[in-house]
Structure 1
Amino acid sequence: MSTAPDPIAAVAEGLGRTGYIASRPIALALHLAQHLQKPILVEGPAGVGKTELSRAIAAWQGLPLHRLQCHEGLDESRALYEWKYGKQLLYTQILKDRIAPMLGDAPVLAPALKALEGFSDLFFSEQFLEPRPLLAALREPRGCVLLIDEIDKADEAFEAFLLELLADHAVTIPELGTIRAAVPPMVLLTSNGMRELGDALKRRCLHLFIGLPSPEMEARIVAARLPGIPALLLRQIVLFIAGLRALDLKKLPSISETIDWARALTLLHTEHLSPDLVRETLNILLKHEADISAAQPALAPLAFQAKRDAETGMPLPA
């Protein structure tokens, strides 16, 4: 009896070919988003691969990636479109000599204004429109991946502005009307939890939380990024990181710091962790001086424990 292929595993395998190791919840959320044509709100601490997921999807699907980096004060003129004022000014200068004869025959103001009516429509037409990431994404003929990065840094007014795009894959430009995507983009919004997002935005999205990985998952991620890393060193790294994350720190090291640290240790031709080496390279893992000071007493025990556990050959905690 044949077994139907697992579509969730197929998604994870496709992302894996780009170097992105996806857990089953990540692959499931992506599978559902593709078929339901709904955006995904990806939450989690900084550095766990939220932004990288968008790049992996675009690479796997062979689609362009449009990224909107959110920040305080972001408005639709920077996110959706703006008018090409320089081009409008140039056209105004070109038409200047032709306007005077046109108005010279108008005896009063009303006919003169009527003669100029057509020019207002001309200057606010498609040829003077400069697309920004949101509009560019809607206009991709084959679809695309649209990343709205760190939406929690934008104002609530901008969050409300996004609702039409998230629900209908469309935006409204007053001078041109509603522009709708021929092929709806795959939309991902990321949040680091700096502020609570509105219920209206959350209702329009599937929710995905990416947390800090287990040692087993983190070893797979690092191995995908650094294929040549020695297996024993890799085990020591992820076990040490797991112990470090158990400390009371202001900012726990994330996956991005683990990858950077593993790359640095490889460049230093490290074979096993030592307390001195850990102290010398700790600033790669911890970004706050208070955390570095707080971790100092635990570094030697954690390094020895990681080395001892790695050498046993026991499976990494999943």
Structure 2
Amino acid sequence: MAVDTSSPQTIADALDRVGYLADEGLATAAFLALQLERPLFCEGEPGVGKTSLALALAQELGGELVRLQCYEGIDSTQALYDWDFPRQLLHLRAAEASGITDPAATEASLYDRRFLLARPVLRALETSTAEHRSVLLVDEIDRADDEFEAFLLEVLSDFAVTIPELGTVRAQVPPVVIITSNRTRDVHDALKRRCLYHWMDHPGREREIAILRRRVPGLSEALAAQVADAVARLRGLGLLKPPGVAESLDWARCLQALGAVDLTPELATASLGAVAKYREDLEAITAHGVANLVPG
């Protein structure tokens, strides 16, 4: 069944069906990215739902989610394509064994499409169709270097890749592109200009409660509210790694596994590792007083 993408509200409804609760701003940004066929650059603290947005869109659009995880030193080969050298070598040996002696024909046969390994960007271009648009997730672009940004900008301008031995591969329909950044460094303006931009902040209290109850089956409204309130207080302590929605969900699941009915200081202390991932943060929370997170 085709997904209705005719308005921000229908996008919000579609995301809601797969458990992703988008606010009006994010739903509008996703709607515009789909309508204008522009990449959506999502920036924000870790754990606020940037990556989950791409997964939810892929589920609703019925296309493949293709993830390109960025890291320091990544280059175009890891993003575009590579040749399967072991298979080429086997093919070469088989050609020699069968008595083929034409060097030009042998060389040409080595660069057949069957020996091409499609990396994430090329795979997204090849698999995106009008019926099932692929979603290309370029995750944590801030971890990559300037040269990779320039390469990505060129590819996203045309949604096409030129392979010298085979020619140009162009997407039938541009994939939906979600680019995420945790803002560990500034991304160049040239890349941002190519994209629509959306800053993703931590959700408000009511939306976080709704997310917790949606994603953690059986969680009571009272406990969800206590977790949301405690996490909001943690975010105000200036921690090295303030907890995001992902940590809120982990904490709620831990408390549920412990059989919690209410979030008590004792249960909070026992399960604090679900929301605090640095020793310095644990020390800061202890100094603040765990009881202050869950006032009665």
- Aligned counterparts, 1:156-305, within 5 A: 156-296=146-286, 297-304=288-295
Q: Which residue of 1 aligns with 2:89?
A: 89
- Aligned counterparts, 1:297-316, within 5 A: 297-304=288-295, 307=296
Root-mean-square deviation (CA), in Å?
A: 1.8
- Aligned counterparts, 1:18-97, within 5 A: 18-97=18-97
Residue 303 of structure 1: SS of its match in structure 2?
coil
Gaps of 5+ in 2: none
Q: Distance in 1 between matches of 2:56 and 2:31?
A: 14
Distance 1:300 1:10, change over 3 A: same
Contact map agreement 1:164 1:171 (CA 8 A) in 2: no
Q: Distance in 1 between matches of 2:12 and 2:31?
A: 10
Q: Distance in 2 between matches of 1:97 and 1:261?
A: 62
Q: Distance in 1 between matches of 2:6 and 2:222?
A: 33
Q: Distance in 2 between matches of 1:153 and 1:265?
A: 33
**Rg larger for:** 1
Q: Which residue of 2 aligns with 1:131?
A: 118
The CA deviation at 1:184 is 1.0
Contact map agreement 1:39 1:204 (CA 8 A) in 2: yes
Residue 162 of structure 1: SS of its match in structure 2?
helix
Residue 139 of structure 1: SS of its match in structure 2?
helix
Moved more, 161-170 or 50-59: 161-170
Q: Distance in 1 between matches of 2:149 and 2:175?
A: 18
The CA deviation at 1:156 is 1.4
Contact map agreement 1:150 1:191 (CA 8 A) in 2: yes
The CA deviation at 1:58 is 0.7
Contact map agreement 1:72 1:155 (CA 8 A) in 2: yes
Percent of aligned pairs sharing the same letter: 42
Contact map agreement 1:12 1:21 (CA 8 A) in 2: yes
TM-score w.r.t. the length of structure 2 is 0.92
The CA deviation at 1:157 is 1.2
TM-score w.r.t. the length of structure 1 is 0.86
Contact map agreement 1:12 1:23 (CA 8 A) in 2: yes
Contact map agreement 1:76 1:158 (CA 8 A) in 2: yes
The aligned amino acid for 1:140 is T
Contact map agreement 2:42 2:197 (CA 8 A) in 1: yes
Q: Distance in 2 between matches of 1:141 and 1:266?
A: 40
Gaps of 5+ in 1: 103-114, 308-318
Residue 216 of structure 1: SS of its match in structure 2?
helix
- Aligned counterparts, 1:95-174, within 5 A: 95-97=95-97, 102=101, 116-140=103-127, 142=129, 143-174=133-164
Q: Which residue of 2 aligns with 1:8?
A: 8
1:58-85 alpha-carbon deviations (Å, 9 max, x no partner) = 1111111111111112122222111111
Q: Distance in 1 between matches of 2:83 and 2:232?
A: 51
Contact map agreement 1:37 1:184 (CA 8 A) in 2: yes
